[in-house]
Amino acid sequence: MTTIQILLLGGASGTGKTTVGWELSAILEQRCVAHCVIDGDTLGHIFPAPPGDPSRSRIVERNLASVWSGFAEVGQTRLIYTNTVSVLEEEMIRRAVRASSAGGVVSSEVEIEVEFTSVVLVAGARTVAQRLARRETGDRVDLHIDRSLRAAMLLQQRASESVVVISTDGRAVEDVALEVLDATGW
pLDDT in tens, 62-107: 999 999 999 999 999 999 999 999 999 999 999 999 988 765 544 5
In the chain, where the domains are located = 2-184
CATH 3.40.470.10, domain 2-184, yes or no: no
Q: Are 97 and 116 in contact (CB under 8 A)?
A: no
31 pLDDT more than 90 = yes
- The pLDDT value given to residue 141: 86
Whether the model clears a pTM of 0.85, i.e. scores above it, the answer is: yes
Q: Where are the alpha helices (DSSP H) in the chain?
A: 17-30, 57-73, 90-102, 125-135, 141-158, 173-184
- The pLDDT value given to residue 92: 97
Determine the distance from the C-alpha atom of residue 12 to the mean position of all C-alpha atoms in its chain, rounded to a whole number: 11
Q: Are 37 and 22 in contact (CB under 8 A)?
A: yes
Smallest CA-to-CA distance from 155 within 101, 102, 103, 118 is with: 118
